Amino acid sequence: MFRFRIKKLAVFVTGLLIAGATAMAPLPMTNAADHAEATLVAGDPGADLADVFAFLDPNDNSKVVLALDVEGFVVPSELLNLSFFAPDVTYRLEIENTGDAAPDQTIDITFSEQTSRSQPQTATIKLPNGRVFTAPTTVQTLNATPNPFVVTTDPASGASFFAGLTDDPFYFDIVGFNRFVASVLAGSPDPTKLQRGRDSFAGYNIHMIALELPAAMLKGPAGNIIGVNGVTLRDKQTHRIEDGGDRTNGKLVQVDRMATPAVNTALIPFPRKNEYNASTPVDDAAGKFAGDIVGTLTALGTNATNIGILANVAVVHGDYLRLDLSIPNTSVGFGERVTTPGYTGFPNGRRPGDDTIDDLLYFITNQAITNGDNVNGNDVPLGNTFPFFAPPQQPRASGVIDDNTRN
């Protein structure tokens, strides 16, 4: 897929490089795929997208799994207090299926107020075909064994839904990556900084929302290629009320967006990160952030060919996860990356187990670093059936020394 796209990009990238030459900006430090990447969302965890996933169900390739997660780093001892989804946030999956940058379908998910620690919230799911159905969230427990995932299947649409805490599927050495980037910017690249091999996300949970849909529901004029973008929105106004409640009104405004991992986090300069979250893939395709992205990559020493590859993923037709529904998928990913023979994962959609950080390091370093951050998979096994994520990390028994965390 990459080689095919490189040729198409030559002219476009030349333009980007010219733009980038005048847009050199201080390189941002990376926090995560998208956790707390900008100041506004860092203070709004319920609306702070961390990761978005799009892949074919490995057990039935006629179905697509779409997932987004928010508010990570939930420690097992906080499973009850931090188990709810913000009732005043609209969680949206935008689907692009005509081949341009403008979304063509939306899937909206909202949640009722949390009324108790032991009762589920009710999610309302609005599908692209107009079908609306409701489903309970999965309630958490402080027991050693997690409650089983509650999956609701809507017979009328064939859609399945899950929302609840899961193990955070993202794996990445934040510290190693940042130390390596610092060495590059200091003029003496030091790949040994990537040898810590410590997964900053191991041992922590995250708020996961997952849907499984018939692939046919999402197809459009672009045939087997769909784009997926995660968005959170809030009412424009929130009024605090003296009795402790609040009241919201006004049109919905976008709080965060996330598709390709690490674009805003790693490639957009700090002063423009809030603006990036408020912008759209149409803005991306119009070149709103192209100079910033090229400037950052140029500062890292990435050459035109590899800038072209990365730009095609996140700029040319907007920042979407593009999934080819005709490419068979047989797993949720087990640490594979673009250098793995037969690889079919990210940036073809994104499976939970794909080593996205290694993919990005590979292209940023002009395909020189093939071992990435030396964190090669999730700390616990992913699931075999929908929603395919691992159960939440539970409080450990007395005497258990290793809680999986790798700070």
Give the residue at shortest CB distance from Ca ion: 98
Alpha carbon distance 257, 264 (integer Å):
9
51 near Ca ion (CB under 5 A): no
Stretch that binds Ca ion, among 29-37, 109-117, 230-238, 339-347 (CB under 5 A): 29-37
**CB of residue 141 to Ca ion, shortest distance in Å:** 19
Stretch that binds Ca ion, among 59-67, 152-160, 176-184, 250-258 (CB under 5 A): 250-258
For 25, the 3-state DSSP assignment is coil
Stretch that binds Ca ion, among 19-27, 111-119, 279-287, 372-380 (CB under 5 A): 372-380
372 near Ca ion (CB under 5 A): yes
Pick from 51, 57, 94, 379: which binds Ca ion (CB under 5 A)?
A: 379
**Residue placing its CB nearer to Ca ion in the complex, 243 or 402:** 402
**CB of residue 356 to Ca ion, shortest distance in Å:** 8
Stretch that binds Ca ion, among 130-138, 185-193, 243-251, 379-387 (CB under 5 A): 379-387
Dihedral, 125, 282, 219, 313 alpha carbons, nearest 10:
-110
Please list every residue from 161 through 190 that binds Ca ion, using CB under 5 A: 167-168
**Residue placing its CB nearer to Ca ion in the complex, 41 or 135:** 41
Please list every residue from 255 through 314 that binds Ca ion, using CB under 5 A: 256
Q: Quick one: tokens of 19?
A: 């733009």
Please list every residue from 187 through 246 that binds Ca ion, using CB under 5 A: none
The phi, psi pair for 124, rounded to 5°, reads -115, 125
Q: Quick one: tokens of 103?
A: 């979304």
Stretch that binds Ca ion, among 21-29, 93-101, 114-122, 177-185 (CB under 5 A): 93-101
The answer to whether 53 and 350 have CB atoms below 8 angstroms apart is yes
354 near Ca ion (CB under 5 A): no
48 near Ca ion (CB under 5 A): yes
378 near Ca ion (CB under 5 A): yes
Mapping DSSP onto H, E and C, the string for 144-197 reads CCCCCCCCEEECCCCEEEEEEEEECCCCCCHHHHHHHHHHHHCCCCCHHHHHCC
CA 255 to chain CA mean position, Å: 15
Length, in residues, of the chain: 407
Residues in CB range of 302: below 8 A, 6 or more apart: 310, 363, 364, 365, 366
394 near Ca ion (CB under 5 A): no
> Closest Cα to residue 170, out of 255, 256, 261, 54?
261
Pick from 51, 57, 69, 96: which binds Ca ion (CB under 5 A)?
A: 96
**Residue placing its CB nearer to Ca ion in the complex, 164 or 372:** 372
Burial class (CB in 10 A: 0-12, 13-18, 19+), 245: exposed
Alpha carbon distance 304, 28 (integer Å):
20
Helices (H), 337-400: 356-364
**CB of residue 166 to Ca ion, shortest distance in Å:** 9
**CB of residue 171 to Ca ion, shortest distance in Å:** 6
Which stretches of the chain bind Ca ion, using CB under 5 A? 34, 41, 48-49, 96, 98, 100, 102, 104, 167-168, 256, 355, 357-358, 372-373, 375, 378-379
